[in-house]
Amino acid sequence: MNKPFVVPVKLDSICQPPSSMVLLVDRAFRALARLGVIVILVLLAALVFEIGGKAIPGIQKYGLDFITGNVWDVNQHKFGILPAIWGTLYSALIALLIGGFFGISMAIFLTQDFLPPRLAAVFRTIVELLAAIPSVVYGLWGIYVVIPAIRPLTDWLHHSFGWIPFFGTTLSGPGLLPAALVLAIMILPTIAAVSQDALSAVPLKTKQAAHGMGTTHWEAILQVIVPAASTGIFGALVLGLGRALGETMALAMLIGNSNQISLSLFSPANTLAALLALNFPEAGPNEIEVLMYAALILMLITLSVNIAGSLIMAYAKRGNKK
Amino acid sequence: MRRLMILAAFAAGVSLCANPPVLAQEKVRLTGSGASFPAPIYLAWFKDFSKKNAIVTVDYQSKGSGAGVQDFLNKTVDFAASDSAMNKEDIAKVAEGVQLLPMTAGEIVLAFNLPGNPKGLKLPRDVYSNIFLGKITRWNDPKIAAANPGMTLPDLPITVVVRADSSGTTAVFTKHLSAINEDFKKTLGEGNTVNWPASDKFIKSPKNDGVTATVRQTPGAIGYIEYGFAKLAKVDFALLQNKAGQYVVPSAESGAEALAAVKMPEDLVAWLPDPDGAKSYPITSYTWMIFRKKNADPAKAKAMREMIEYGLTDGQKIADSMGYIPLPAVVVEQVRKAAANIK
């Protein structure tokens, strides 16, 4: 009864040398990909060249005083962006703390079998939809919903804990806290999506092994799965920070655009991106050069954040392998 | 074959003869850019004008007075629009000659947000100029109370909302404040952007919409916006004290009074930093369109003259309903005469 096993296809029919068509497609695709890379690099170089070139007169005129000054007065030709740098970093950092915490929690919640898979997929889509909302809508939502909603809390915090510098002023509407809160929601989908991918990529075997060792669900998540996905999660945070640093329109509407350096979360502040967006449309030639200088500084900040992120990730990877 | 050739030659001749009238019917496209403050009324004009005058289309980009003048100098547009007219150095750069024409005028109002929405808040000259200097900081300041007997003013800090973007509105507003307050002139001066006092009670918001939204959402806020915008957004605005000492509510009538108080000079650039007249609203300003006197294309020059004529006749009729001030009849005549310079 037992027939010998027969290979159902003829060997010679599938094992052919690649046809010239396949080779051609392969070569064409490779050329196309290479072209794409070159175009992107050239574009980036052109961008840096253009911005840098236009910033040179500004750099020569104002030098390092531009970075340490805190007055922006077009009429008197005094330009300084220290408050804007401070506000950019401060708002992005707070947004990262809030958005990072909720984004990673959400990713854990959606990937670690807390929900039936179908429901998890629905939630995932909803979170990703947040990324599709235009920036202006976030700005308006911040003005009409977030600010009135947090006002009672901020008033209470100021009256009860006004001696803490973070609560040192009353909230007068747009300010650092509402801006950072909205920013946190804006970077949430990025952080949540990338962290989810990282957590899903942890092999099932690792998880099963952890459970096999007798860990509880939470011990497995916090001590095995999250550390195993840590490089990916860290990448998500770096991406989120990059987005927070460069976000423009919502911040221009919510941060108050006031050139002052204050630790208070309720004070109006300024960011580089908002400064650029608001001053470019009507800038005269004198102002263009300093705005280009400011754009260059913003690029340097985002670049250094990304490089630092990559370095830490590379370092962590090496550590993991040991 | 020969007959065919004759036919062809005949056809070619006919089409050659037919060409000139076709050219005359060719569409004329005018492009302009500049001030955002008059943009709503300009766009309404251009739409209606193109409907009535099928061969002319006018494209207008509202990108700001400064940008409009820049485009005009770079010759990327046929005309520009500016709230702050055009300075002498820029005019000197245009070899073809420049014709500035005031086309409409507007007012700037002080919108505020106080609990209980009190109507008819009166602000004396030294009070509102000092609010924007950051010197009067609370609503129950004795000076405000003195001007508003019987009104209960809350013990609230005044949150001042100003424009974050560079704007002709700010230029007109600071020109007025500089005219009435020596201190303001010395410390802040006038311009499309000025260096507002650095305080956590000074908030900068982008555009008229941003200022309006922030004033609405912040109890104790005050901000300057265009009258047309305030009318649409239905915010409360203050009565301001004018040069004659009267408190005036912003309206088309009080604006027209202010315009009538100033005589239009030859070059058609009249500033009203602080108009005379008991009924004049204090913060009123003209806004200009800028043309070249010599244009390379006569068809375009003709279309521009027609467009100006439309703005002076039908255009002025819709000004009031859109929150602008119609030009006084004397000024309309002056503008009409000057428009003939555009060739």
User: CA angle A207-A212-A216, nearest 5°?
Assistant: 75
Contacts of B13 (CB under 8 A, 6+ apart): none
Chain B: residue whose CA lies nearest to A139: B210
Chain B: residue whose CA lies nearest to A149: B217
CATH code assigned at A97: 1.10.3720.10
Q: Quote the pLDDT of residue B5.
A: 53
Count Cβ atoms below 10 Å from residue A321 Cβ, excluding itself. 6
DSSP B237: B
Preferred mutation among A154, A270, A278 to probe B, highest tally of B CBs within 10 A? A278
| SS3 label, residue B238 | coil
Spatial separation of the C-alpha atoms in residues B285 and B83, rounded to whole Å: 8
Q: Quote the pLDDT of residue B4.
A: 52
Spatial separation of the C-alpha atoms in residues B166 and B169, rounded to whole Å: 9
What are A283's two structure tokens? 């800038």
Q: Does 3.40.190.10 match the CATH number of domain B28-105+284-339? A: yes
Confidence class of residue A5 from pLDDT cuts 50, 70 and 90? low
Q: Quote the pLDDT of residue A9.
A: 54
Q: What are the phi and psi torsion angles at B238 (to 5°)? A: -85, 155
Say yes or no for a CB contact (<8 Å) between B217 and A72.
no
Chain A: residue whose CA lies nearest to B215: A173
Buried b (16+ CB within 10 A) or exposed e, A88-103: bbbbbebbbebbbebb
* Under 8 Å between Cβ of A280 and A216: no
- A201-224 pLDDT, tens digit each: 999 899 889 989 998 988 999 999
Say yes or no for a CB contact (<8 Å) between A172 and B204.
no
Count Cβ atoms below 10 Å from residue A181 Cβ, excluding itself. 22
| SS3 label, residue B101 | strand
Determine, yes or no, domain membership for A115: yes
Q: Quote the pLDDT of residue B283.
A: 92
Handedness of CA A227, A233, A235, A238 (dihedral sign): negative
Preferred mutation among B84, B200, B209, B212 to probe A, highest tally of A CBs within 10 A? B200
A70 contact residues in B (CB cutoff 8 A): 198
Spatial separation of the C-alpha atoms in residues B60 and B79, rounded to whole Å: 9
Say yes or no for a CB contact (<8 Å) between A282 and B192.
yes
A260 contact residues in B (CB cutoff 8 A): 198-200
Q: Quote the pLDDT of residue B54.
A: 82
Chain B interface with A: residues with Cβ < 8 Å: 63-67, 70, 157, 159, 161, 164-167, 189-195, 198-206, 210, 213-214, 217-218, 220-221
Spatial separation of the C-alpha atoms in residues A252 and B196, rounded to whole Å: 17
Note down pLDDT in tens along chain B; length 343 residues.
455 555 555 444 444 444 444 445 678 889 999 888 888 899 999 999 988 888 889 999 887 787 888 889 888 999 999 888 888 888 888 888 889 999 999 999 999 999 888 888 999 999 999 999 999 999 999 999 999 988 888 998 999 999 988 788 888 999 999 999 999 999 888 888 888 988 888 999 888 888 988 998 888 999 999 888 888 888 889 999 998 889 999 988 898 889 888 888 888 888 888 888 888 999 999 999 999 988 888 888 888 998 999 999 989 988 888 889 999 888 898 898 888 888 8
Which range of A3-7, A33-37, B69-73 scores highest in mean pLDDT? It is: A33-37
* Residue range A88-113: mean pLDDT, rounded: 93
The helix/strand count (H/E) of chain A reads as 15, 2
Q: Quote the pLDDT of residue A322.
A: 45
HEC readout, B191-216: CCCCCCCCCCCEEEECHHHHHHHHHH
Say yes or no for a CB contact (<8 Å) between B159 and A172.
yes
Say yes or no for a CB contact (<8 Å) between A256 and B204.
yes
- Whether A27 shows a pLDDT value over 90: the answer reads yes
Tally the C-alpha atoms within 13 A of residue B339's C-alpha that lie toward its C-beta: 24
Q: Quote the pLDDT of residue A28.
A: 95
A282 contact residues in B (CB cutoff 8 A): 63-67, 165-167, 192
DSSP 3-state helix, strand, coil percentages of chain A (rounded to 5)?
Answer: 75, 0, 25
pTM of the model: 0.80
Q: How many domains does chain A divide into?
A: 1
Q: Quote the pLDDT of residue A179.
A: 94
Q: Quote the pLDDT of residue B20.
A: 45
Preferred mutation among A79, A135, A172 to probe B, highest tally of B CBs within 10 A? A172
Q: Quote the pLDDT of residue A3.
A: 58
Spatial separation of the C-alpha atoms in residues B34 and B61, rounded to whole Å: 7
Question: Domain ranges in chain B?
Answer: 28-105+284-339, 107-260
- A215-274 pLDDT, tens digit each: 898 899 999 999 989 888 998 999 899 889 988 889 999 998 888 888 889 999 999 999
Determine, yes or no, domain membership for A33: no
B205 contact residues in A (CB cutoff 8 A): 174, 253, 256-257
Preferred mutation among A167, A282, A287 to probe B, highest tally of B CBs within 10 A? A282
Helix (H) or strand (E) holding A73: strand A72-73
Say yes or no for a CB contact (<8 Å) between A172 and B189.
no
Determine, yes or no, domain membership for A201: yes
Beta strands of chain B (E only): which ranges?
Answer: 28-34, 56-62, 79-82, 98-113, 122-123, 159-163, 202-205, 221-226, 239-241, 247-248, 284-292
Say yes or no for a CB contact (<8 Å) between A71 and B195.
yes
Cα distances (Å, whole numbers) of residue B263 to B177, B271, B298, B337: 21, 10, 32, 16
Spatial separation of the C-alpha atoms in residues B337 and A21, rounded to whole Å: 75
| Domain hosting residue A309, numbered range | 63-321
List beta partners, residue B205. Answer: B163
CATH superfamily of B107-260: Periplasmic binding protein-like II (3.40.190.10)
Count Cβ atoms below 10 Å from residue B182 Cβ, excluding itself. 10
A281 contact residues in B (CB cutoff 8 A): 63-64, 67, 165-166
* Under 8 Å between Cβ of B58 and B307: yes
Determine, yes or no, domain membership for A226: yes
Chains A, B: CB pairs < 8 Å = 111
Cα distances (Å, whole numbers) of residue A36 to A31, A42, A46, A306: 9, 10, 15, 22
- B87-145 pLDDT, tens digit each: 888 888 888 888 999 999 999 999 999 988 888 899 999 999 999 999 999 999 999 99
User: One fold for both B28-105+284-339 and B107-260?
Assistant: yes
Say yes or no for a CB contact (<8 Å) between B200 and A282.
no
What value of ipTM does the predicted structure carry?
0.77
Q: Quote the pLDDT of residue A8.
A: 56
Spatial separation of the C-alpha atoms in residues B223 and B228, rounded to whole Å: 15
Preferred mutation among B205, B215, B222 to probe A, highest tally of A CBs within 10 A? B205
Say yes or no for a CB contact (<8 Å) between A259 and B202.
no
